[in-house]
Chain A
Amino acid sequence: MAAKKTSKTNVSKDDLLHYYREMLLIRRFEEKAGQLYGMGLIGGFCHLYIGQEAVVVGLEAAAEEGDKRVTSYRDHGHMLACGMEANGVMAELTGRSGGYSKGKGGSMHMFSKEKHFYGGHGIVGAQVPIGAGLAFADKYLGNGRVTFAYFGDGAANQGQVYETFNMAALWDLPVVFVIENNQYAMGTSQQRSTSSAEIYERGRAFGIPGEAVDGMDVLAVKAAGEAAVAHCRSGKGPYILEIKTYRYRGHSMSDPAKYRTREEVQKIREEKDAIEHVRDLLLTGKHCSEEDLKAIDKDIKAVVNESAEFAKQSPEPALDELWTDIYAQAEA
């Protein structure tokens, strides 16, 4: 990967343990979701985040309370990382009333006003102007907040992304454009779909600064995120982070991923895995023992199992829910 590696960072044991927990939660959650999909408990499209965990965990570490985030349909990791409950996310995947959208949104469409998570969007690239719009509102209201607008290398070829770059730069909107470059737009590699090797460089045409970041290194992501957020919060306008990452699973549950070799996936898992990286830092830094990490693994497993149980037990939405939430009622 061409992205720059972090040099040694002063990072506390607590921080490392936090990243470890968060990334592991996402991975175990997604593995469980894959399992429930196989059992027919989750339907439709289901896009797993396994492999990309360091991206959201690193950027959430750079966010402040009140900052906003919006992403595509590969959204489970973003929700867990911003503090949404595993139970509510898993129950939405199973289409139950205990889900964040009462079962009416599904894997691709969840939201949490409380956690400032604005979806969960199924049309590739649509979340990019929406993210800039959230930033527009923050700037208008003068509340000092920053928005993270996540999109993939595939979405980076949508015209609306560049319409948005133009306006975000023109109006100095406080938005971090996060390109999660997992190298494949569904089954089409970046090489076959994208004229530029470094997508963030496209920002230069609009005067938007940006950089490539090693997305398998949570500390590098956090450091880049902090710089980007500081740039936006100081009123200098948008910033682009192209975070080079990798998804271990197919595009969705039904993707056999024949467009790449098993060896390619295996090599990244073995040499680059973001969770293993933090695990090594914890162990080699003598911050904790194998036993301590096992205890964490056990905790996480319990959280995930509980979410699966909740998602199975939660009732399906009441039939009259079909007709609710189509129109908001005016406040009296």
Chain B
Amino acid sequence: MAIEILMPALSPTMEEGTLAKWLVAEGDKVSSGDILAEIETDKATMEFEAVDEGIIGKLLIAEGTANVAVNSAIAVLLDEGESLSDAASPAQTAAPAASAAAQTPAAPISASAQAPVAVQVVEHDVPAGTSFKSLTVREAIREAMSEEMRSDETVYLMGEEVAEYQGAYKISQGMLDEFGSKRVIDTPITEHGFAGIAVGAAFGGLKPVVEFMTFNFAMQAMDHIINSAAKTLYMSGGQMGAPMVFRGPNGAAARVGAQHSQDYAAWYAHIPGLKVVMPYSADDAKGLLKSAIRDPNPVIFLENEILYGQSFQVPDLPDYTVPLGKARIWREGNDITLVSFGIGMKYALEAADQLAEMGVSAEVIDLRCLRPLDTATVVNSVKKTNRCVTIEEGFPVCSIGSHISSVLMQEAFDYLDAPVITCTGKDVPMPYAANLEKLALVTTDEVMTAAKSVLYR
């Protein structure tokens, strides 16, 4: 019986990939464990092994083909003595693949099955006539670090797998080559220790950028982030502090379970002495990270794995920065204010589209920075719209939304026509099962329900 070999999923968030190279030819005999092909994900080039024995009857996808969907047929495996014509024609059932013309590696991967969010470039504080280029969030973060390292010798990157492995999520790809092992440093798996060493290095005159493979692992380093980095300037009466950035993916990826899926935005936003940034778009990721590296304070820079591969228009300027502590209005509107940050913006913008179809004009605010928090922009918006829904992925108790709600109660009480509703992740550890995970996360539908509720519709 002929067997279809399917495009494998090689990471938790992978939905498609590039078939970089075939290592077998039609007619080759293969045993289980033989390497069939090299497949590029957005993070790495992986070898793909045979599971079954047989003879390669047909290669259905040409080398170099990009955007091959997971689970589409890429080859046909025949039994000994069987011919292709004997087998049912699996080629016809194979999913159509993109043309082999796309030789460029690592095409951006949309982690969402839904249509991409229409990006409106609003309020870019750039000179008239500035051109824009399309960058993924991943590329934007890499550009920000590389540009700052080129202009300041004291900036260096340390973390697990940042150098020779080229980054667990390929953020630092190529940086070891450019900057060398003195400035792009692989650490052992020892978060508490290397966070403390980085704080000491900051006291000693350097500007470390510490990459946590994910912020879940930064729990091990919490003491140094808070007790050593955030508090020293105050405890020293202003004599010395820790100019440094702690960055890495934060929040849920996909199907990685409770210990690897948590949004720490509210945790860090609680701490005086820290600055906390959580960008949504690539342009903000780049501009904010450059500002964070230059900032003389410890900055927590919360990224999102699902957003890494998404592309946005980024100003093509030699030194594009975005100031910390200023929210961004993505859409102007009059009827309701949607406040979010990070991946929550995806749901906020989708809801705004749906509301527009209902004839409701929503103002969408991306906080971008959670400390300092630009409450003035939110309050001013609510004074205009009289209604507010907040959207975030984190747990509901003591969330960023709770704080926004409290600020609005104190500063815009008389302007509110409805209670503020906070849309958050559910108050449960993240489940593994696909259906339950979906239920645990905040959704556009929930934002719509909340919006309709405050609009009394």
Contacts and interface: CB of A to CB of B under 8 A. Distances in A.
Interface of A: 68, 70, 99-105, 109-113, 118-123, 126, 128-138, 140-141, 159-160, 163-164, 166-167, 170, 324-331
B431 interface: no
Given A101-B236, A141-B205, A134 B296 contact: no
B239 A104 contact: no
Interface stretch (B130-138, B186-194, B256-264): B186-194
Contacts of A102: 237-238
Contacts of B193: 129, 160, 163-164, 166-167
B203 interface: yes
B187 A137 contact: no
B204 A138 contact: yes
B232 A119 contact: yes
Interface in B211-245: 223-224, 227-228, 232-241, 243
Contacts of B295: 330
Given A121-B228, A135-B204, A330-B294, 15 more contacts: A100-B236, A101-B236, A104-B234, A105-B237, A121-B227, A123-B223, A130-B199, A131-B200, A132-B196, A132-B200, A166-B190, A166-B193, A167-B194, A167-B197, A325-B237
Contacts of A119: 232, 235-236
A130 B200 contact: yes
Contacts of B233: 325-328
A324 B234 CA distance: 8
Interface of B: 156, 182, 187-188, 190, 192-206, 223-224, 227-228, 232-241, 243, 272-273, 275, 294-297
B227 A109 contact: no
B235 A104 contact: yes
9 contacts: A70-B200, A102-B237, A111-B232, A120-B236, A137-B200, A140-B156, A160-B192, A163-B193, A328-B241
Contacts of A136: 197, 200-201, 204, 206
B196 A128 contact: yes
Return the 3 tightest CB-CB contacts between A and B, nearest first: A133-B200, A129-B196, A163-B193
A122 B227 contact: yes
Contacts of A325: 233-234, 236-238
Nearest to A322: B234
A118 B275 CA distance: 22
Nearest to B238: A325
Contacts of B272: 326
Contacts of A120: 235-236
